[in-house]
Every structure is written in C-alpha cells, then in structure tokens.
Amino acid sequence: MSLGKRQLHELLFYMILTRKLEESLARLHREKRLTSPLGLHSGLEAVSVGAAFVPTPRDLLASSLPTTGAFLLRGVKPVEIVLELLGKGAAPSGGRSGIRDFGDLGRGIVATTGHAATHVSVMTGMAFSARVQRQDRVAVALVSEEAVATGDFHEGLNFACVRKAPLVVVVVRFPSAARPGGAEVSQLYERARGYGLTALPVDGSDLLQVIQVVETALERAKAGEGPTLVEAPLRSSTRYIGSDDAMPAPFDEAARLDPTRSENETDVDANPIRRFERFLSNQDCLSEVERAALSARADDVVSDALRAADAAISPDARGLEERLFEPVS
C-alpha cells in the first residue's frame, strides 16, 4: 500500500487522538466520574489504528481489547465513546452497554461480550457467511494473548481453518511487565502450524509494519486462502483498569520540546506515536509545525467530546424493557 502525506498525517492524528482521548477518560475515572473499571492500555495505538485502517468499510471488525483507535477509524465519534462510558441516554446503546461492548453493524463493528475470545467464532461465522454469499468482505478479530487459552479461541479458529473462512485474527501480546501474572508463552506463530494456519509475526509498536502485515493477511483472505493469525507483541504498555492503577505514562509533549531531555532510541521504539513521528520527520514528511497542529486538533476534538457528553442526560428508565425482542407486528 502506498500512502500519501495526507494519509500519513491522518494516521498520526488518529494515534494521537486515541492517546489523548484515553488519557482524558483515565482522568475522568480518577475523578470518580466514571465508576466502572476502565481497562485501557497505552502502547496499543499502532495495532489499534493499523489493524482498523487496512480493512475497508465493507469489512467487519470486532475487538475485545480497549482498542479505542480501531473504533475511531471505523467511524465511531469520540463523543459517542464518552457517552457510552458515562452511560448517557444519547449513547449509541442508549446506556445499556459500555465502550468495551460497542457494536454497530452499520459501521461494520460487532460488539463483543467482553469475554476474551467469544467473538472469534462469531467473526468466523461472519467471514464464512460472507464467503458463501459471495460478499467481498473480510472479518477481523482483535484479541489479547490471554484469550488464546480459551476454548472459544480454538473452536472458532478451528472452524475457520476447516472452512477457509476469510478471517484475520490479530493477537496482541503485552510485554511481561504488563501481563498480569501470565505464564511465558512460546511464539504463537509456531503453534499456529498445528492448525495449518498461516501466522505472521509483526512488531506491534510499529504502525507501518502492522499495516503491511494486516494488508497481507486481508489479501490472503480475499483470495480464498483462509484465515491468518497476526501475532503483534508490544514493546511497552501500561495498563489502567481501576483507579488504583498508575496512570498511563502521559503523552508528554513538553518533554520533547525540552532540549535538555534526550529521548533514548529504545524508548522511542517502544512508543508507537513517537516512533512513527520519528519515521515521518526522517522522511521529511512532518514538520514540527505540522505535528503541533495535529496535536492541537486532537486536543480540540477531545475537549469538544467531553463537553458534549457531559451535557447529555441520563437514559429514561421507562424504556428499560424495550427492544428485548423484535416487536410483533
């Protein structure tokens, strides 16, 4: 895929927006204005944006990870995300869900149940039904590596392999520091051989690599070659779930402008946004002015969203029992 400068800037914008939006959500949570566990991971931006950028609007996406970037790229507005989390009546689910379970078939997003991999078989079903109905579409499922332990993951993937469903499963692997007490798992892409499944490893902190690999996976799917597993380890990530967790490392703009602070290469490699910025500026595709403009635009979008969501009202309890079933005509 060749990307023009505008597209590259947009990709950067979405990564920055993702980060800033999540930071503001974490702040709301700290202020106890959001009370349910939040579940955010910094460092996911490249996978989030990259895995959602490649599929077309006709393709389908489901994610049990807090991939805010992916939802934004599929056309979910920042205000909708905040409305969902605040449980307002104007939220897309009317206050009945939460962001983790966001779904809208019109925008090609399937809501998950929040369980690690139940959506893998559902996305297999969507992919399989797309193939038999000769629809030119692919289903993409994002899961975390913990989900690989569940029966759902294997049942779904097995079916997809047997039926050559046009499915892409992106498994995000968190660095051991962030992983909550999980045992060391060997390279997934080697395990995939047991399924006769093509598996492609990628550096999950590198946006362009993610885009390239996901693209390959989608092309395989569209060519009828069956499912692909994309294994995307992250170099660094901070988890924020409950208010006792440490705030994710802030997207600290002030630091980079301070000549006395040098950013060490490894740290930049581990930060998807910084890494992409470095790449762009090395290619003379991004000036400091342009970068600042993108950042400022992201700030505006976030504050608009927060303001609008704040002003919205709670759902009307009288509607509680509606829409359980399709109304009988």
Partner 1 sequence: MTEITYLEAIRQAMWEEMERDPRVILLGEDVGLYGGAFKVTAGFLEKFGKDRVIDTPISEEGYTGVAIGAAFNGLRPIVEFQFIDFIANAFNMITNFAAKSRYRWGAGVPIVMRGPAGGGVRAGPFHSQNPEMHFVHTPGIKVVTPATVADAHGLLKAAVRDEDPVLYLEHKKLYRHVKASSSELESRETPPIGKAIVRRRGEHIVVVTYSAMLYVALEAAEILAKEGIELEVIDLRSLVPLDRECILEAVRRVNKVMILHEDTRTGGIAGEISAIISDEAFDDLDGPILRVTAPDTPVPYAAALEDAFIPRAEDIVRAARRLARY
Q: Would you tell me which residues interact with partner 1 (CB under 8 A)?
A: 60, 92-93, 96-97, 101-105, 110-111, 113, 115, 118-130, 132-133, 135, 139, 151-152, 154-156, 158-159, 162-163, 323-326, 328
β-pair type (40-41, 239-240): antiparallel
For residues 78 and 152, what is the distance between their CA atoms, to the nearest angstrom? Answer: 31
For residues 213 and 106, what is the distance between their CA atoms, to the nearest angstrom? Answer: 26
Closer by beta carbon to partner 1, 123 or else 301 = 123
Closer by beta carbon to partner 1, 133 or else 262 = 133
For residues 120 and 197, what is the distance between their CA atoms, to the nearest angstrom? Answer: 15
DSSP letter assigned to residue 194: G
- In angstroms, give the least distance from the CB of 130 to partner 1: 6
Burial class of residue 311 in the structure, from the number of CB atoms within 10 Å of its CB (0-12 exposed, 13-18 middle, 19+ buried)? exposed
Torsion angle of C-alpha atoms 138, 143, 145, 147, degrees rounded to 10: -110
For residues 38 and 294, what is the distance between their CA atoms, to the nearest angstrom? Answer: 26
Closer by beta carbon to partner 1, 254 or else 328 = 328
- In angstroms, give the least distance from the CB of 241 to partner 1: 21
- Cα 293 to chain centroid, rounded: 24
**Alpha helix (H) residue ranges in the chain:** 5-30, 45-53, 68-73, 78-86, 118-132, 151-162, 188-191, 207-222, 253-257, 265-270, 272-282, 288-311
Closer by beta carbon to partner 1, 12 or else 60 = 60
- In angstroms, give the least distance from the CB of 34 to partner 1: 19
- In angstroms, give the least distance from the CB of 162 to partner 1: 7
- In angstroms, give the least distance from the CB of 77 to partner 1: 16
Closer by beta carbon to partner 1, 36 or else 129 = 129
- In angstroms, give the least distance from the CB of 114 to partner 1: 9
Closer by beta carbon to partner 1, 11 or else 117 = 117
> For the sheet containing 60-63, what is the strand order?
60-63, 139-144, 167-173, 228-233, 198-201
- Contacts with 260 (C-beta within 8 Å, 6 or more apart), sequence order: none
Closer by beta carbon to partner 1, 163 or else 278 = 163
Whether residue 229 contacts residue 200, with contact meaning beta carbons closer than 8 Å, is answered with yes
Q: CA of 150: how far to CAs of 117, 118, 180, 233, 241, in Å? A: 7, 9, 16, 19, 22
- In angstroms, give the least distance from the CB of 65 to partner 1: 17
Closer by beta carbon to partner 1, 65 or else 202 = 65
Residue 294, φ and ψ in degrees, nearest 5: -60, -45
- In angstroms, give the least distance from the CB of 144 to partner 1: 18
Closer by beta carbon to partner 1, 162 or else 185 = 162
For residues 234 and 206, what is the distance between their CA atoms, to the nearest angstrom? Answer: 9
Torsion angle of C-alpha atoms 48, 80, 109, 182, degrees rounded to 10: 50
- In angstroms, give the least distance from the CB of 129 to partner 1: 4
